[in-house]
Amino acid sequence: MVDTKAYNLISARLSARHVSLVAVSKTKPTEDIQALYALGQRDFGENYVQELVTKQPQLPSDIRWHFIGHLQRNKVRFIVPFVHLIHGIDSQRLLVTLDKEAARAGRRIDCLLQVHIASEETKFGMDINEINDLMNSTHGGKSLPNVRVRGLMGMASFSDDTELVRREFRSLKSLFDTVKASFFSGDEDFSVLSMGMSADHETAIQEGSNMVRIGSLLFGAR
């Protein structure tokens, strides 16, 4: 069930702080997406390729679809024709595949590099060295003309320890600033820092997030 009151409060609060809201609609029916669309929401996030390609044609064409899950290289071509932003680029091989498939589709695709910031083992993402290697070998992604690296994404530990979560977000913001200064000086392309979910978005925004991905606060528990 969509909580329209929560949506109105959250979206007003975020827009006042210039933070973009991606409404995470994974596992939720298209009716729920329509309900938020009717209130003006246009950015929606999905985690699963099959679910996204099933929902996309049933919904308004001006929705900006964010792919926020783990993306397998053999699935890239299914979302490339319409996706707005891919948040989870976690290897150079995936970025190269995306460049190739984007060329084939005649598009330039915006993406974020996913950084592993959590102390947990299970979350996907690259470490600082892998990010630096990728940036060096692709000149900030510019040697791949059909992709555009717009920023970084990360997920903090799933933990009640707010200070741990805060430190993880802070380390991602610091890496964002370093990458921006090293590879994108004087270039506004690299401007998106996607961090924060239902439980931790306040902390993420305090630490410099400008894009949050919120599901259960808007759509109810999954």
Q: Minimum Å distance from CB 155 to ligand PLP? A: 6
Q: Minimum Å distance from CB 31 to ligand PLP? A: 18
Q: Minimum Å distance from CB 128 to ligand PLP? A: 20
Which of 68, 147 has the CB closer to ligand PLP? 68
For 1, half-sphere exposure in the C-beta direction (CA atoms, 13 angstrom radius) is 3
Q: Which amino acid is at 87?
A: H
Q: Minimum Å distance from CB 216 to ligand PLP? A: 3
User: How far is residue 35 from each of residues 1, 3, 113, measured CA to CA in Å?
Assistant: 10, 10, 31
* 124 in Cβ contact with 88 (< 8 Å): yes
Which of 68, 94 has the CB closer to ligand PLP? 68
20-24 vs 211-214, strand pairing mode = parallel
Which of 149, 155 has the CB closer to ligand PLP? 155
Q: Minimum Å distance from CB 10 to ligand PLP? A: 11
Which of 144, 193 has the CB closer to ligand PLP? 193
CB burial string 158-177: b at 16+ within 10 A, e below: eeeeeeebbbbbbbbbebbe
Which residue has the CB atom at the shortest distance from ligand PLP?
215
Helices (H) and strands (E) in the chain, counts: 9, 8
Q: Which of 77, 75, 49, 7 is nearest to 66 (CA)?
A: 49
Which of 114, 138 has the CB closer to ligand PLP? 114
Q: Which residues bind ligand PLP (CB under 6 A)?
A: 24, 26, 47, 68, 155, 197-199, 213-216
